[in-house]
Homo-oligomer: A and B are copies of this chain.
Amino acid sequence: MIDVAKHAGVSVSTVSYVLNDSGSVGESRRARVLDAVHVLNYTPNAAARSLKRRSASTIGLVVPDLANQFFALVTEGVELAAAERDVLVVLCVPEATDRPTEYYTRLLNSNRLDGVVYLPGSGGMAARLVLELAEAGPVVLVDERIPGFDMPAVVADSRRGAREIAAYVLARGHRRLAIIGGPEALWTSHQRLSGYREAIAARGLDVDGVPLFVGDHRQPSGAELAERALVGSPDERPTALLCANDLMAFGALEYCRRVGLRVPEDVSLTGFDDVPIAAMITPSLTTVRQPARDMGYGAAGLLFDLMLDEPTGQAPEPFPTTLQVRDSVVPPAGAA
């Protein structure tokens, strides 16, 4: 920067002024500076900047698992929002690297990160640690919430989505259902479960008669739980499986195929999220769409507001979900 100043025949402060256009600088000098910057191919040193500015212009994005396209889409949304503000996004995949949540707390404390977008989602989330994280700096939760603490969060209306898809399955005549739920630790899991149960109750069926199997939102657990769910003779076992996310539905599908159960003829299947492949597999998956990219974009936006100490006008509305009717649900064998 000193070189630039020399080359332009001005002082370093002038250079700084034109680079940030703070202060006011005469036209000719400004032009000379810009020219010098160009000629010397000068780029300000980011470390020095953030030392002075006390901000790294960088946020963290914690995701459980990139192979889940839902997370990948959220990530793209976050990226976009960050790019609009010239902020960098560092990717954190705790389960691929086994870095504990405390690690991110440190990143926040050391000013390496100005804030964090946190996506639990495969359930490793210990609420205590997230709260700790939130004390170290601004944190926004995506598709999740910690009951009793109103942390900033961007969510979709999971309960409603679950209710609608369960109602749809029931309307097609299914009476013996099983639920493959998400991790116990997640608020979202409970929301979806509630939604399913409300729909079941609304049909006048016995809610407690519907078995629940708790998975971890990953594909293998879907397969495993489908195996446990689909026991008994054809007229005893469930005719439909409500899966709390698409990946587990894929796992269930895989299991069915392996043991020769036809989907949807022998067992109907639903998912949740509507990842791109859901529409592509055979049978295409009936599921609930969550606007993943928008949620990521919204979460990052909210985080930036928080970082500027803006009033943030209270919790944002849940994003709407929409039922995607496709081929993986048909009436059960003996239906009217």
Whether A67 sits at the interface, judged by CB under 8 Å, is yes
Stretch in A92-100, A187-195, A205-213, A313-321 touching the partner: A92-100
Whether A336 sits at the interface, judged by CB under 8 Å, is no
User: What residues on B are CB-neighbors of A106 within 8 Å?
Assistant: 43
User: What residues on B are CB-neighbors of A276 within 8 Å?
Assistant: 67, 219
Number of identical monomers bound together in the oligomeric complex: 2
Partner of A90, one of B88, B96, B109, B280: B88
Are B93 and A91 in touch, CB under 8 angstroms? no
Q: What 0/1 pattern do residues 120 to 132 of A give for CB contact below 8 A with B?
A: 0000000000000
Stretch in A6-14, A44-52, A151-159, A265-273 touching the partner: A44-52
Whether A140 sits at the interface, judged by CB under 8 Å, is no
Are A56 and B47 in touch, CB under 8 angstroms? yes
Are B83 and A75 in touch, CB under 8 angstroms? no
A241-291 contacts to B, CB under 8 A, are 250, 253-254, 257, 276-277, 280-282
Whether A69 sits at the interface, judged by CB under 8 Å, is yes
Distance of A95 from chain B, by nearest CB (Å):
9
- CA separation between A88 and B60, bound complex, in Å? 10
Interface residues of A (CB under 8 A from B): 41, 43-48, 50-51, 54, 56, 58, 61, 66-67, 69, 72-73, 75-76, 79-80, 82-83, 88-93, 96-99, 106-107, 109-112, 219, 250, 253-254, 257, 276-277, 280-282
